[in-house]
Amino acid sequence: MEDALLVFDRVCMRYHQESGETAVLEDFSLSVRRGEFVALLGPSGCGKSTVLSLAAGLLRPDAGRVLLRGQPIQSPPAHMGYMLQRDHLFDWLTVRDNALVGLRVRGKPDAGQLARVDALLESCGLAEFAHAFPGQLSGGMRQRAALVRTLAVEPDFLLLDEPFSALDSQTRIQLADEIKQALAGSDRATILVTHDVSEAISMADRVVVLTHRPARIRSVHRIALEGSPMQRRRDAQFRDYFDRIWKELDVHVQ
């Protein structure tokens, strides 16, 4: 518990609307360690995105606490990366300017930060598109640019909300590899929201399966696979994990 970076401590969360209130999280507890990669799997509408919004400091829990390094999160933390399903690149800015958006919110990027962004663009194969506009890029390229924008602020922890689901299957596997590579060796914590079981197993150290709304933790699966997402997919044990987790999901669909 002491090296936990991000802790959800018996969190309750409801949305209030004129038509009624929706209980989304009920007594939700989860802790993510430094360097750990956690995947959240659950049916759509169960509250996965809400978990990330809480971690991002965009929402406040109704009860319970969300802690970052032991401190309650009040507003979006400085070293956080948040990636959404769609890239949301600004089409009036070049790829490089898009990548700099997060830094610019915090002021004028210094030479070191600029150099690092250029290096990130380079490593994502975007160097030659740095001065192109997002309209000229393919879906995979755009999501890579969004990844660079996320990593540019040097996040300690990453919140990935189905970042691959708008991509074709080949691109998503490729991008999964690239993201894991970008994270390798760092002690960043990552929470990935997905409803793709294979994706969760191929990337995460721990897969957390959620119930229907209000979301509770249904089961937790420690994934003892090594290597890149691609290598993991080829592992003999991959199928076993898949079947086990698939059953979990299947059960509560009915």
Partner 1 sequence: MYNESAAQKKYLAGLRHKKWGITAARWGILVVFLLLWEALARLGVIDAFLLSSPSRMAGALWTLARTGELWLHVGVTLWETIVGFVVGSVLGIALAVALWWSDTLCRILDPYLVVLNALPKIALGPVLIVWIGSGMPAIIVMSLLVSVIVTMVTVLGGFLGTEPEKLTLLRSFGASKLQCFTMVVFPGALPTTVSALKLGIGMSWVGVIVGEFLVSRAGLGYLIVYGGQVFKLDLVMAGTAVLCVLAALMYLGVAYCEKRLRARRAHA
Tokens of 233: 């997919």
| Helix spans in 108-196 (H) | 111-123, 139-151, 169-183
**Binding site residues, Mg ion, CB under 5 A:** 49
Kindly tell me which of 60 and 239 has the beta carbon lying closer to ligand ADP: 60
Asked if 47 is part of the footprint of ligand ADP (rule: CB under 6 A), the reply reads yes
In the sheet with 4-17, reading across from the earlier edge strand, the strands are 20-33, 4-17, 63-68, 71-72
Residue keyed to tokens 């990130």: 120
Q: How far is the CB of 147 from partner 1 (least distance, A)?
A: 13
Tell me the CA end-to-end span of the chain in Å, nearest whole number.
35
Asked if 88 is part of the footprint of ligand ADP (rule: CB under 6 A), the reply reads no
Asked if 15 is part of the footprint of partner 1 (rule: CB under 8 A), the reply reads no
Binding range to partner 1, per CB under 8 A, among 84-92, 192-200, 209-217, 234-242: 84-92
Pick one of ligand ADP, Mg ion, partner 1, none as the site partner of residue 155 (Cβ within 5 to 8 A by kind): none
| Residue 139, CA atoms < 13 Å, CB-side half-sphere | 13
Pick one of Mg ion, partner 1, ligand ADP, none as the site partner of residue 71 (Cβ within 5 to 8 A by kind): none
What does the binding site for ligand ADP look like in residue numbers (CB under 6 A)? 15, 17, 22, 24, 42, 44-50, 213
